[in-house]
Structure 1
Amino acid sequence: MALLVFLLLAFFTGPAQFESSSTVRLVGGPHRCEGRVEVQQNGEWGTVCDDGWGMEDVAVVCRELNCGEAKWTPSGTLYTPSTDKDQKVFLQEVICQGHELNLSQCDQVEVFDCTHDEDAGAQCEKPSLTVRLAGGPHRCEGRVEVQQNGEWHTMCHAGWGMEEAAVVCRELNCGEAKGTPRGTAYEPSTGTDQKVLMQEVICQGHELNLTACEPVDIFDCFHNEGAGVQCEMLENVRLVGGPRRCKGRVEVKHQGKWGTVCKAGWNLSAVKVVCRQLGCGKALLTKRCCSTTQGQGPIWLSEVSCSGRELSLQRCSSGILGKNNCTHDDDMCVECEDPFDLRLVGGDTNCSGRLEVLHKGEWGSVCDDGWGEEEDRTVCKQLGCGESLFPSAKIQKFGRGVGRIWLDDVRCSGKEKSLEQCQHRFWGHHDCNHKEDVAVICSEP
């Protein structure tokens, strides 16, 4: 009866209008112009039901977000993380003609029987202006560069602050903003032929991307005034208990808690996705778990199915989160080729010799400028070779290297688990010759 009364009321009164203060965003997609549709009312974000949702409605969303042409009307359930069960569904049906400038101009019917299984999605063109952080230790820190018309430009430091950094971190899905270092802190330095974007942006800090900030033209900025950003590095997946970061038990993070993945349904395509997400090399299908410890806590995922093209494991289909019949004996492990591998060559065992590191598929040596006991310890720890016997290693024992000298001025604190985490010059930058190659002897073969 209540439903009948509502339908009669909706029929006679006609569709209502959005509040003028409502805004829209796309959540969980590969970029800001694709994802689950959410609208804001009275400071709260809620979803939109897919009843009647079509290309006219998507076209308006794409126009409002400055995202080019509408491409598709996917289900909002495709995008992760899934909608929080406590989040409201604000709209039952949106009725657009396709020419409106924003969703607030479209008619709508308020919710009476819609659930999050019916959330609407939208896919637009990728944004014409994209952002990246270049030269940093990971993708969430570095010099700010923006792309316009297929060309990358340096972002000027003028007026740059934590509000702008917060927007960049949000756009890149990199967590909280931590700092605004000068872009000149990152190597390699900006190319002399790269343009400086003759524009300053003024952000409030709540914007979803830099294109939503206010542009201000400037005329006197140079590469030595480039902006930098330091964000958190979000961890959604990791490999635990293995001998190096690209081999171990798969764990994913949900609701702030790490849990394992059941091997049911697992195949090489899923391994490829994990290796790609972690920035590791070629995927190797592991027949048995390569972790030295057994998993603890929740088993978050089971029946994972990937095509191999996904950008992250969270984009693969799987069973219901946390619902499975697995035990930790079924935990899945992954092995990838490590793009940052190291070895000791020329010695009697693989725990002594001249140090070489692998970069871009090529082995090269390490210069001994600044090399000391902490660096030795880190190498022995990473190789599982016991304690360092520093300073007993002499390069004369193992011969000089040939070819590349990849690293120079390496600095470790002693807390690092691998040499990759230590500070060093940019790859291939050095002032050494092979007389200065590092050699290491560890206590255990």
Structure 2
Amino acid sequence: MIGVIMNCFYSDDRLPRLISGDSQCSGRLEIRFGRTWRTVCDMHWDWNDASVVCHQLQCGVAVSLGKVAYFGEGTGLLGSDKFECKGNETRLADCPSSPVNQNDCTHMNDVSLSCSNESWSLRLTNGGSRCDGRVDIYSNGRWGRVQDSLWDISDANVVCRQLECGVAIAAYNFSKYGEGEGPVWLNDVQCGGNELHLRNCSSFALNPSLNESIGVGVLCSEHMQLRLSDGGSQCAGRVEVYYKGTWGSVCDDTWDLTDADVVCKQLHCGKAVHATLPSSCGSGSGPVWLEGLNCSGEESNLWQCPSPYWGSHDCSHKEDVKIMCSEHNELRLVNGMHRCEGRIEVFYNGTWGTVCSDALDPHDAEVICKQLQCGPLDHIKYSTLSFGEGSGPIWLDEIECNSQEWTIWQCQTDPWGQHNCYHRKDAGVVCSGGNITKGQPDSEKDCVGESDSGVIWLLVGGNTSCSGRVEIFSKNTSSTVCDDSWDMADANVVCRQKDCGSALLAIGGAAFGQGEGDIWFDELRCTGSESFLSDCPSSASLHPDCDHKEDASVICSGPEFSLTASPSTATGWDY
């Protein structure tokens, strides 16, 4: 898989501890790597990271994030990892991380942390951030659940206030975020909405005798997400921020490459490139959330950059920011008689380059024709006599597809730009779909991403057009999606692709009945910002370890969604 990096570590790696403080829940933060303990640099540490450490240490919530070695300087090694927690992970080891330059820090920058050390505390899990998710309560050394069939916006407001997440946008008394584990600590809470803590509500009671829960959840106004829209991949397009329950855009006043770098870094899309997307990619709708950003480039999230108040601006949507990151890629055939034959060119890191023909075989070329919606492969051109030599970098060599992938980005290949080739070996293909007249996507003229590799995506078996089993229809054959690792991020991509709003539920276990045919896209790992499900990393071939009992389904919030709708064969879903 292109661009995928795996980190391996011992089972006790990334184990945190707090030392030199007033209790086991405060002190200088140290993290175990292998057999050594290392301090953490405060330049790359934030409240989300701190929240995960306090949860993992069973110390409640983070209440103070001290810097400049408040609890004294360490003496051992300095940590070289930058953690990028959402704030709702169970362990620090669950957070994505990336290496940083140790020379940026000394022990004067050691992180100090104080947790609430309460006998009980709460958190939101299985959502998109620490301000979105299922309500979990910590008591008697265990995390447990909340059972409340009358959970409402007043109860949710208290949770958001206690977690410093603003106000409640939505309160869920169905299993939007999945069922939790452990005892049901809280039953039928009734808040007025003005309480500072959930324990201040009049009917609050810890009740360990209950053992079933319908899983209450909360979406708070400070829950924020970031995506790039209408650019053809998750790494190019219009910059959009989800805030206060609404997707909005960013104004281009004072916008520069440093601001764009923060966006690309946050989305794990590399670095920003100078190439810009054209105005034909379209303007956004809804609010313009941000204007006048002044990022330093060190921020982990766009909303950490200095800016005026949210929603305060004098911009129109004609000024929406559009960017391209280095991990954005496209595919085209050039110098042929029509768009379905020609020299293979790939767009990466802001530049068009070529593909080496040395190891190109029919399996690889079939995927190229499929991705370009050009029908089956006719033949491969291994010399440049027909389509000429390209210029610029030779981006790809040693491609290994099995012809079952939807895009070449899902095939195995050498790293970008690594090759032992010359332009006289630039590969070309001729696909059988020469009568297709649809215009060739061009990054300088058109917005790409308006279709998805020539396939039709369906939702089957639901009570509305925005719910059902996810199916792929291609060449008169239907296939389904395996529910291994199926989650809300994956479901959100499907709902957006079907113009059905956002996902309410990501359901596995063939909840809308079992499909037929092949099973595709096992172990999907979408971020939620992709334009199409085929843009997401996945195990890209047919998977005998899945059967149709594991078909994935979604329920979206689209205009036809009904609160009385329910999966036809599922149990335990309460609306």
Normalising by structure 2, we get a TM-score of 0.36
Query: Which of these two proteins has the greater Rg computed from alpha carbons?
Result: 1
Normalising by structure 1, we get a TM-score of 0.44
